[in-house]
Structure 1
Amino acid sequence: MVQPTPAQPALPRVGTGFDAHQIEAGKPCFIGCIEIPAADGCEGHSDGDVVAHAIVDALLAAAGLGDLGSFVGVGRKEYDGVSGTRLLEECVALLAQHHYRIGNVSVQLIANTPKMAAYREQSATRMSAILHAPVNLSATTTDHMGFTGRGEGRAAIATALVFESA
């Protein structure tokens, strides 16, 4: 990571993250750190929260600290079934250890189900509280194209802004 010189002030840093998972019938559905009732969740080593995972990737990228795979690894028993909430909390702690604070996050869910209008504010509020920063959550579909359009999975893309802190 290139560090600014004393004559060069620290600039904000931006990162982008992406995640996708297949839908798994009967698994609880977590999106944006809240449980969505009456919807099937996503498969995975964790709770399958594509929104939280994309945000972690974006935050780590912005701080130059790798990605979700390098952060928690794959196949580590202590992360079996890990929640998106825990991943965000641990990511915030890691950023703080490296003297970064979060400016804001924008994340978009790409999925046919569930319809997020009824849950958007609750999810954004929950994630904002975890990150100590504003989070905007939006949702879209792919108009029946691809695996998300066929209802086979969900994806999310996130952008995060971080600042070096004193």
Structure 2
Amino acid sequence: MTAGYQILDNINVFVGLKQGTTKLEVVSRDEDNPIAANEEYDQSGFYLGASTGVTVGEGKLDISLAWADLSSDNRFFGDVEVDIEPEELEFDDISGANSGESSGFSFSVTWNQPINGDLLFRAGFRHNVYDQDVTFMGETFSGIQEDNTSLSVGLLGVF
């Protein structure tokens, strides 16, 4: 859900709420005793940003930059090594349900070009960078970085 306001002819500001879930199938590192498990990362919260668009011929180039502050509910599978001597807690030892906080930026560039009538060609690039802090057994793992880049190409029908 997003609400926006056009402050100049080609500059917009927006604010909204987002929620997303990522599900992963994890395979342990122990080749002698492989174990498959599932992990899930739920993030929700608000974002705010600005965008601009430039008309080039019949097409339009849109650029957007946003910042998000998200709460995270994660379910980790602990891939714990069997050590003779105990060692300090490591990130891959985290298991079960945990909460955390994420914040970061999203940058996107999109090109829209009319083909004919109500049909448009669309190409897009998006890059997200989020940092997350997770606390497990009294220890906080800070600066866990999520980097996500996506490219999209498709047709868009306008009605």
Larger relative strand fraction? 2
Between 1 and 2, higher relative CO (CA 8 Å, sep ≥ 6) is seen in 1
TM-score scaled by structure 2? 0.27
Structure possessing the higher radius of gyration over alpha carbons:
2
TM-score scaled by structure 1? 0.26
